[in-house]
Structure formats: C-alpha cells, structure tokens
Structure 1
C-alpha cells in the first residue's frame, strides 16, 4: 500500500508485552506495517500522507486472530441443537459427507465475511473432511480467503479411523492413511508461504484422537517437522473423549498425544476442556498452545476450560470461534466477552480473567498460538498493519469510560475500520471486498443444495 495512513484521536490498546495503552493516541501505517504508535497526535511534518483518519470516539486494537474454525459448517448451522459432541457428530457426519467444492467455497466466504466484519484479520480453518470426488476443497477455502482479504492458516485435516476400526466417524467419511499424508504434503508444498507477511500458511492437522489412527498422528508429526510447518488437532474436548482414550489407549488424551509426538512449541490444540493438573504442566513444559472456544464448549455442553490455570502455568492460549454448526454466531469478538464470563463461572470466580486478559486472548495470545507473534497480535512499530477501529461513542458503549471494558463487556462494537497489511477490508461496518448480500444468498443456496443431497 503506497503512502502513509495516519489514525489519530483514538484510545489505543497496543496489547504489547507491557499492555501499553494511550487514552488518546495515534498510529502511522506505511508499507503494510505499523510505522509509529504513541500518545497524542501523530508527529508533525509527516510526508507522503495519503489518508488521515480522525478516530475520535474509537478504540484501536490489533486485529483479532481466530485460532480454530471449520468454515464448511456454515452450511449446517442449527442442526442437532440439543446434543453433546459425539451425538452431534453422529448426526452431522452423513450431511457433511455430501459437501463439494462449490459448497465449501460459499461456506468459507460466508464464514470469513462474518468474521472480518467483526474485526478478525487472521483465521484458522481446520478442514478434515474430504469426500471422494468432491473437488479441491482446500483450494476453495484458500480462494475464499484471498477474495475476502483475511490472512489464513489452512489446517489440512484428515480422518482415517472409521467406525469399523473403533473410531467415531462412519467409514464413508474417512481417508486411507497414506492418501491423507500424501495430500497433506501436497497442500503444504502448493500453498504454504513462510514469509513474515504471508497471507496463507498451511498446518498439518489430523482431526482428533477418536477419528485418526496412531500411525497418522505419528507420521503427521514427522511430516510437519520435516516441512517446517505447525501442527493442530482437537484435544481433551469432552468427558467422552477422555473415556475413549482411556479405554482404547490406557491413558488420557494428553498423555496419548504426547506419546505420538504431539506436544511441543509447534503444536496447538482446540478446546482442552478436560485437563488435569498434570496435563497443564505438560503443555506448559512443552510450550503447546490452546485454542479456547468458549461458546462452542457451552453449545455442546463440553464444560468449562481451565483458562486461568493454563495462563498461570504459562501455556499459550488464544480464542477460537469453532465451526458455526456449534457456534452459530460465527464471530470472534463475542468470544472476548464469553471467555471472561464463562471463566468467572469456574472456581476462580471474579478473579478468573480481566477484560485485558480477554483482549489478549483474542490478539497477542492467538498470534503466539499460531506461531505468528513476531509479526501479528500487537500494535508495535515494525509489525504488520492488521488493526481494528472499534466505535465506542454510540448508544451501546458511551457510558463505559474504560474503552477495553466497553469492548469486552459491552454489546458487539461496530467496526469502523479493519485493515490487513494496511489495506482496508471493512469500513463503516461493511465489507469492502465482497457484497455481503450476495455472499449470504450464495451460502443459503448451497446450504439448501447440501440438505437436498443429504436427504437423497
């Protein structure tokens, strides 16, 4: 992006290592990066300013980072409304087995559009279902992210443990182990960009302990480390998963995953609700990260994750929307509030999380979890210009004097501006990169086509 953009007169929450904040501050963006951030107005005499924004009444934060999602599930929102995880999956697998490339593309566009409009600038999509003849599903997701303008970690998932071999998914929903490994390696080589300003990265992401073989887990870990990419999976999500692991492997999910090479600073896991003290110690010792998904955990009655204990132990923790079939809102900024409120229902009560800890989970914490904290997650000179201006002087927020509390505890704040690499993606609450109504119509049409295919 040519020229400088100057943003002034807003509150600034940098979410840097010192939680630096400015009641009234400025940011200067140049060349896709943050050139300056500080209190008061921007320095006088700046040359090459092509845009100057008076952000009075706003809070500037880093762009939100969604560390776990399943975009394709946008087409099946509202199914199995009163089921726990295993029953919800059993009801959903036959429908999901009918997805194809146009469906996934439409679902990904809708998922990304909803998130971007709510301040997400980087998202992870964990796609693990690849029906035969469905087309290039991962490519469909990557194309959608490119069109919306959001950074993407495409987590190429897989399932190879069907019901006939003791797994949860039906046999028609799984891949052969070697095929899954080969396709994953192809995805990394075709799409992963290791550059600091990358728009697309790829992670290796077999689905879960109850849907993949030990062989796939072990060889996926070896593959990821050989290729220099990160590892992602589900872990310790429900009591039923823990029971499955104890019955099948004679140990809990964390011990089992560690035995397969799945703990380390290059690994993050979704949910991590049912964690023992020993599990938390193992995550802290190895630097393994957690994608905390409070709304999905509540929707599927999974339980309350021990986020305060994870943070106290030094475990990297970020926030995740999870698939919109288990979090129909599909937005991350609501997870800031939900993370705080749900945590306070646990044993730490009012001391569980602060509003600033909640904001950190959705920004710097998420950047650390996905391995991008050197370039994302805080407003600091030299970092990528991924940021959000939240309007806080309207009806929903004007009487909350602490801007971070207004953002976290108040209703969803309107996004006046969201930039990715300094390029505006959202302005005045509307997407600039796609027609929201057209995206909604296309997703609705594909959802109806999927329902019809599943009914046949």
Structure 2
C-alpha cells in the first residue's frame, strides 16, 4: 500500500508512506520518497490512515444472543437475571452469536479478539468448538479463554448451581481445550487461555490449580477483577482480603496474567500490577452501562501498568464497536481527570500494542514495523465531513468510527469498504438474530427466566 498516512504506534508517524507486505508479514515500511516500485499488487492509500489492527482483550461472544436485557441493573443484579437465560444456551446459539459478534468486531477494525466463555450447561454440545469454528470462518485471529465456575449459590457463590461445573471436570476440559486448539507459533490464528470466571463464582482451589495448569502448558491466565464495589465487599467478607490482595495470595499476579475491568484499584494495587507485569483489559462502555465506575486508566499508565481495551460481552455493551472503545476510554478519563488525562494516541496504543501485550503477542502484533505480522486497518479520513479534521488520529479517536476501507489479517483482506469479504455479512448478521430468538425460546421451554421478565 502506498500514499497512506501511517500511525505505526511506538514510532514516528509518516504523513505519506508505504507498507510492503510479503507473505503474512511486513517486509518494509517508510516514507514514499524511499518506496521501491515493483510488480506487486498495489493498494492506493490516498485519503486513508493506516493503523495496526485493533486488539480486543475481553469479550463474551455468547452474549450477543442476550442483548438488551436487564437494562437498568447493577452487575450482580444483571448476572442473577441473565444466568437463568444463559443456562439454556447450546452450541447452535453460541455459533450464531460468535459469528455475528466477531463479524461486528472485524467491521470496527479488530484483527485479534479474545473471548472469555465460562458458562457450560451440561448436554448442550461443544460450546467452545462452536465459537472457534466461527472465528475460523471469518479469518481473524482468535484467543478464546476456557472459562469456568465451580462455586454456585449452594456454596456461597453468585451463579445458580445449574451452570457450574466440578473441579476435576473443569481442569480436564481446560487441558483438553489447550491440547486440541492452542497454537503457539509466531503467526498463529488460534491460542487458548485459562480463565476461571471471577472471585465470586470460583473456589480458591480452582484458581490455584488453574494457574498451575496454565503455567505447565505455557498459556496465559485471565479472569474478572475489581469490577464493582460489590465485588470488593464480597471478597473482604468471604476471604478477608480485597480482590488484588486475594489474587496475589493465590499466585495470580504476573506477566502471564491479564484481568478484565480493574475499575476499583488502590495505589498499592496499581503498583503491584506495574511491578509484576500484570495486564488489564479496560472496558469503558460496559463499565458505564452497568454503573460500575471509571477505571483509573491514566494513573495505571503513568505508573507503568499495561492496559489494553475490551468491548466486553454485548449483553452489557450493546452493539459496541471496538474502534468506539478508544473514544469511550479517552472521554471517560478526561471527564474524571481533565483534558490531558488520556490523549488520542494513548487510546490508540491501548487498542493495539496494549492489547497485544495483554495477550503476549507484542513481538508479533500491535505496531506497524518490519518483521511483524501484516494485521492492518485502513481508515478513510477524506470524507466530505471527516476531511475537516486534519489530524487523522484525532479523527479516528475523537469522532465516531471512520469508514473502514480495508482490514488485513496476515495480509489477507477480511473487510473491504465496510463489508465482510470472507463470509456473507448478511448471513452472519442474521445468525446473531437467530441465536437471540433461539436462546429466548430455549430459556422459556426449560423454565428459565423469560426475556420479558428481565427487560425490567
């Protein structure tokens, strides 16, 4: 590609430059004055901004099928309502929801998405395989985390017993998922993480054994942490420790760990994250939707902690595009801490390199430089209205999502001119709506809370 404004992240921007791709990687990059002409396929980037592909570091794809429910609930109220619906999901629901969710992410510039799937009702098919199949069809990189819950209401946990699993069952299934799907190679499109759900739905024994399993297999660890003040109170009441201290006690701080949300961190917590290399996935839209609070992102970055961005499940972040989370993150920080709290370029870095670091792929992804994979988003900045903003990065982050001219994953086109190219856009959109209708019907048939009861 040539004649394009390049925001490489981590190195100086190039006002008019070129990127040469060989195979699935970036072979050369620089200003047009240094470009070499050749016979290769050429993409004219005039009027476009090139950034690294965006990296989504926290999601629950199955939740595409339960959007719009429990609209005015706190996190714990929302969970109690929706566990009853999610208990009815099957592999068909998950595949349809994942197809729509991943397609929507790609259309918003996302080339790599994680997913945290932790609800496994018995006898409902292979839910983990269903979302992996959807990602393969689309062609983006995928980092699913095999989640779990073993602490139901009868043991003092939040989820109903019908959606929790036994400890040995969880460890066996997680090990099998890693052995079956995890690909550690440099250009991998599929890696697996280990992800017990949260301190209020998981036993200490599962947390410690999950960490041992992940480290023996060489994969990463993920869970929710410090999302709400309710969780703070729960941890103190149940364990005698605040969430970060509890995780530290269980061996869950380190460079192979990233947590979702981390809204309610103390100065000491942030310093521990920075000192241990523990990462965070900031999910501003979801945190706002559930009234959870505003994470101390600017302070975390200032103190040296890594922060990436996450859309979170669409049931708490309806129709949220990945590109939109850059804007939300920046505006939330400025609303709380002032106009210099987070810049447009810091927001872009969180959405790219910060996310790659969370997933352990900073040597392969997250910046545009020679030797890294050709995961690139090309945004149109020359529209009739957007061209009034002369700083392309400002246009991308400050405004609503720009038109996506092209999305490349390993040099392959996934999106062109705001249309999915590897799958039928209309078909994956319909699959998400079909998944919603199927889930609501299954929930009613099985006697779980009907959709009309959780709209309140």
TM-score normalised by the shorter chain: which range applies? over 0.9
Cα distance in 2 between the residues matched to 1:177 and 1:111: 30
**What does the per-residue CA deviation read over 1:103-144, in whole Å, with 9 as the maximum and x for residues that have no partner?**
100100000000001110000010000010111111111111
CA contact (8 A) 2:196 2:210 kept: yes
Q: Does 2:315 correspond to 1:321?
A: no
**What does the per-residue CA deviation read over 1:62-97, in whole Å, with 9 as the maximum and x for residues that have no partner?**
000000000000000000000010000001001000
Question: Counterpart in 2 of 1:378?
Answer: 367
CA contact (8 A) 1:206 1:217 kept: yes
Kindly state the Cα deviation for residue 354 of structure 1 after the two structures are TM-superposed.
0.3
**What does the per-residue CA deviation read over 1:322-374, in whole Å, with 9 as the maximum and x for residues that have no partner?**
0000111231100010000001121x211210000000000011101110000
SS at the partner of 1:61?
A: strand
Question: Counterpart in 2 of 1:417?
Answer: 406
Kindly state the Cα deviation for residue 54 of structure 1 after the two structures are TM-superposed.
1.1
Question: Counterpart in 1 of 2:323?
Answer: 333
> Which moves more between the two structures, 85-94 or 445-454?
445-454
| 1:391 maps to which of 380, 403, 408 | 380
**What does the per-residue CA deviation read over 1:176-234, in whole Å, with 9 as the maximum and x for residues that have no partner?**
11100110000000000000100000000000000100000000000000000000000
SS at the partner of 1:79?
A: coil
Superposed, which structure 2 residues align to 1:26-425 within 5 Å?
26-40=18-32, 43-46=35-38, 48-49=39-40, 51-346=41-336, 348-425=337-414
Question: Counterpart in 2 of 1:4?
Answer: none
Kindly state the Cα deviation for residue 174 of structure 1 after the two structures are TM-superposed.
0.4
Question: Counterpart in 1 of 2:13?
Answer: 21
**What does the per-residue CA deviation read over 1:408-451, in whole Å, with 9 as the maximum and x for residues that have no partner?**
01121011010000000001110001111111222212211110
CA contact (8 A) 2:235 2:241 kept: yes
Aligned residues: 445
Higher relative contact order (CA 8 A, sep 6+): 2
What stretches of structure 1 move > 4 A for 4+ residues in a row? none
**What does the per-residue CA deviation read over 1:290-316, in whole Å, with 9 as the maximum and x for residues that have no partner?**
000000000000000000111011111
Identify if the C-alpha distance between structure 1 residues 396 and 269 changes in structure 2 by more than 3 Å, giving closer, same or farther.
farther
Cα distance in 1 between the residues matched to 2:331 and 2:438: 38
Cα distance in 2 between the residues matched to 1:330 and 1:411: 11
Cα distance in 2 between the residues matched to 1:105 and 1:441: 12
Kindly state the Cα deviation for residue 42 of structure 1 after the two structures are TM-superposed.
5.9
CA contact (8 A) 1:396 1:410 kept: no
> Which moves more between the two structures, 388-397 or 91-100?
388-397
Cα distance in 2 between the residues matched to 1:342 and 1:149: 32
CA contact (8 A) 1:375 1:383 kept: yes
Cα distance in 2 between the residues matched to 1:218 and 1:271: 21
Cα distance in 2 between the residues matched to 1:179 and 1:385: 39
SS at the partner of 1:157?
A: strand
Cα distance in 1 between the residues matched to 2:46 and 2:171: 52
CA contact (8 A) 2:354 2:366 kept: yes
Kindly state the Cα deviation for residue 455 of structure 1 after the two structures are TM-superposed.
1.6
CA contact (8 A) 1:75 1:450 kept: yes
| 2:4 maps to which of 7, 10, 28 | 10
Cα distance in 1 between the residues matched to 2:249 and 2:85: 33
Q: CA RMSD in A?
A: 0.9
> Which moves more between the two structures, 127-136 or 33-42?
33-42
CA contact (8 A) 2:99 2:431 kept: no
SS at the partner of 1:363?
A: helix
Cα distance in 2 between the residues matched to 1:45 and 1:72: 46
Cα distance in 2 between the residues matched to 1:393 and 1:230: 40
Cα distance in 1 between the residues matched to 2:18 and 2:432: 39
| 1:448 maps to which of 421, 425, 437 | 437
Cα distance in 1 between the residues matched to 2:49 and 2:423: 25
**TM-score using structure 2 length:** 0.96
Cα distance in 1 between the residues matched to 2:148 and 2:306: 25
Cα distance in 1 between the residues matched to 2:333 and 2:423: 36
Cα distance in 2 between the residues matched to 1:416 and 1:343: 29
Structure 2 stretches of 5 or more lacking a match? 446-456
Kindly state the Cα deviation for residue 395 of structure 1 after the two structures are TM-superposed.
3.1
